Structure 1
């Protein structure tokens, strides 16, 4: 435990750990452990007394200096494509809350799904001695995980998956299958897929599950009906327009995330078509706004809050040297007005 530079009103000297220990009538090492995140071997009453006195005297732990002494920074780095993505913002909010509860702080950086940006952001994080890193922008071919392994830095992938790497995500192939089964039950046979980025597991596995279900039902989705323009509203609008310009346009579209689906809504309206009656539409993640659109969006629910929390738990287990396994959360179909009548 390191000394604080805070001062008690009316005192010329700063409040140190020794000051707290003297008032609590305990040894300095006991006071240090009582104020730590894991006060093992000290009675509850002693911990309570030391912490109350520390607060009353105005003593604050210097976490940066403590990290130098203990070899930990109590910092977790988080890499995301962009926090303007509501799904990733929701996950990060959960990550930050779970980290704070465990006595850690988070440092988040946008990578824009760009390898160069990711490289620079990761280097900056590692220079600050992160205890671990949560990666939310992994792609096929990424080397970030392997580099962290080589440096001995614990990490976990969140939302996206890569074979051989610890991850917390939704069973996206199953989610794609749920979307397909819903449309098949409604009688749709000619459908389109807005696949996002097929190098990301979210785009690849959701699209794959959807297409496999239609193929098994005897209505394979041709490659011309699968458009990969990236994630987000602008990408969704472009992809939706491409699908609706086909000689035989689809009667239903599955977009692999809600924001992309919202972009597709714009292209459906621009083509003079009606949602559900002319073109059914399904998104993914079930963001809060999906249920509050002028025409509520059918979506595959992914528990973003649990994803963030569990990624922190998995990372902390890894930091502690405990065995960890990847987690797949179950997706849930939430039907709304873009596919079924109210």
Structure 2
């Protein structure tokens, strides 16, 4: 038996609540609590809000709700308020380490503000992207965070036409509000680093063409190399799907055409790790015979002693979430670009 005795002057009378640990319990509603507390249901509703005033009545109602193991009926509340206190997060694949780090930061920030995150994998497929957005809208999400935007912006234009608040993260498209890394500058850091080391035969693993992040990293690197008089032949640039296996295969193809390559830049750490495997299979040691540089600085990059460009994905995810909450409140927002940092490790070396 739990006794809740109000302080002197409180509108609540003495209350005793028995917590049942077995048997079928009748669902506890706002009205149940209101009747036991002797107040109106609207008073209980206000008292149980996250922004409720810290007065004695609200504290006593919260105690009573906790003792009764009250759980809000989210679906009913959504119908009443036209809000779900949920945000949809669309990623191309949650098994991607970068996307997982982004989602963790987004979910943590949303939780701090009283929202729930609902994640959906789209596999970068245009049809799947639209299906997932429609599904999330049917769940009455209050907004969307898109981590799977395509450079052509057709998908994002379509999302905009549906009238739901949204922001982009890690990729940008069509001038819509986004939180991204300055990927072009990151690519420039790599190009300057390799040219400073003396490399003139460079191969690039360029990732996926429809990603703004991949495309700008490649462009930044090529521009930095060109400014030093270093040209990269088109057939020394290989597409990948941002995985170790495609990085490995891409290095085999490039070195078959250009055996004199002395440096490899991969726009993703996993491509870079795959490139290291491929180089060893070809009898070349990364960091001794061939320099290798990745991008993102995922946790495994440090263990592999991989030179890479650090992208603060935790900061990026939190900032995108804050931006979406501002958009949902009707505020004007501006896109944010975070600064990259080159992390030099053992896979950097001059030409053999």
Distance 1:123 1:32 in 2: 31
Instruction: Report the equivalent of 1:170.
Output: 181
Q: What is the number of equivalent residue pairs in this alignment? A: 331
- Equivalent of 1:318 in 322, 327, 350: 327
Q: How far apart, CA to CA, are the structure 1 residues paired with 2:342 and 2:39?
A: 58
Runs of 4+ in 1 over 4 A off after TM superposition: 10-14, 22-26
The answer for unaligned runs of 5 or more in structure 2 is 1-17
Contact 2:75 2:84 in 1 (8 A): yes
Aligned to 1:16: 29
Asked if the contact 1:156/1:314 (under 8 Å) is kept, the reply is yes
1:15 and 1:126, CA in 2 relative to 1: closer, same or farther beyond 3 A? Answer: closer
TM-score by length of 2: 0.88
Query: 1 CA distance for matches of 2:177 and 2:142?
Result: 16
Greater mean deviation of Cα atoms: 228-237 or 209-218: 228-237
Task: Check if 1:38 corresponds to 2:41.
Answer: no
Q: CA RMSD in A?
A: 2.1
Query: What residue number does 1:101 align with?
Result: 112
Corresponding residue number in structure 2 for 1:305: 314
In 2, distance between residues paired with 1:179 and 1:44? Answer: 57
When the two structures are superposed, what TM-score results if normalisation uses the length of structure 1?
0.90
Deviation at 1:150?
1.6
Alignment of 1:175-190 (within 5 A): 175-190=186-201
Q: Distance in 1 between matches of 2:300 and 2:252?
A: 23
Unaligned runs of 5+ in 1: 1-6
SS of the residue corresponding to residue 230 of structure 1 reads: coil
Is the radius of gyration larger for structure 1 or structure 2? 2
Bigger mean CA deviation after superposition, 241-250 or 7-16:
7-16
* Higher mean C-alpha displacement, 24-33 vs 214-223: 24-33
Matching of residue 232 in structure 1 with residue 223 in structure 2: no
Q: Quick check: 313-322 or 145-154, which moved more? A: 145-154
2:179–2:337 CA contact under 8 A, matched in 1: yes
2: distance between equivalents of 1:72 and 1:83? 26
Does the C-alpha gap of structure 1 residues 128 and 181 become closer, same or farther in structure 2, counting only changes over 3 Å?
same
* Matching residue of 1:51: 62
Q: 1:215 to 1:100 in 2, by over 3 A?
A: same
Report if the CA contact (8 A) 2:204-2:264 is conserved.
Answer: yes
Question: Is the alpha carbon distance of 1:56 and 1:337 closer, same or farther for their aligned partners in structure 2, counting shifts above 3 Å?
Answer: same
